Amino acid sequence: MSVSPASVPTTAGPAPTQADLLDFVRRTAADTELIASLPLDPEGRTWLRLDGPGGSEAWLIGWPPGTGTGWHDHADSVGAFFTASGELREHSLAARLPTDGWKTLELTDGVDRERRLTAGQGRAFGRHHVHEVLNDSPDHHAVSVHAYYPPLPRIRRYSRVGQVLRLEQIERPEDWQ
């Protein structure tokens, strides 16, 4: 379910950095009125498109208990996300993967990372960052703010079994807007 865009101030100037995006998502997550305006659905994620800094793409996302993104990356975009309420868990890979030309990769030992991001915590990430984000809570929603620059050209979705990562789908902006 999506809802109408909100008016969040943007800044003009050079392309936003990871630090700029992290600052934006941190400030936006502190806007309790905006966070409370997001309708929460018990069945599926909800989202609200925001105007990010410097032409970046930004989203306010509601996560029902037990939901997640699955493994994915944001292609050539850098990004940041910040938990406004609840808690999210992120699994990520501390490895640079080839960007194109593969369907299946065997991951080496030691590349897995896990972070728990409670309300008031966030992180920035670079290009080709492969991760999944989850709300593990059995009974509480989480809400987070995300920003990407340049605006997402595509999202690659993966499946993972053990140490094998497999490219399953490539989504383009028209698939989620």
What CATH number does residue 88 fall under?
2.60.120.10
**Euclidean distance between CA atoms 127 and 76, whole angstroms:** 5
Position 177 confidence tier, pLDDT thresholds 50, 70, 90: low
Q: Give a yes or no: residue 124 inside a domain.
A: yes
Position 99 confidence tier, pLDDT thresholds 50, 70, 90: confident
pLDDT in tens, 122-145: 999 999 899 999 999 999 999 999
Q: How many domains does the chain have?
A: 1
Mean pLDDT (the chain, rounded): 91
Range of the domain at 156: 12-175
Position 102 confidence tier, pLDDT thresholds 50, 70, 90: confident
Q: What's the pLDDT at 88?
A: 98
Residue 170 in contact with residue 99, Cβ under 8 Å? no
pLDDT over 60 at 5, yes or no: no
Give the total residue count for the chain: 177
Q: What's the pLDDT at 8?
A: 41
Residue 142 in contact with residue 88, Cβ under 8 Å? yes
> Letter for the amino acid at 92?
S
pLDDT in tens, 11-50: 457 899 999 999 999 999 999 999 999 999 999 999 999 9
Position 155 confidence tier, pLDDT thresholds 50, 70, 90: very high
> Residues 6 or more apart from 116 whose CB is under 8 A from it?
87, 88, 89
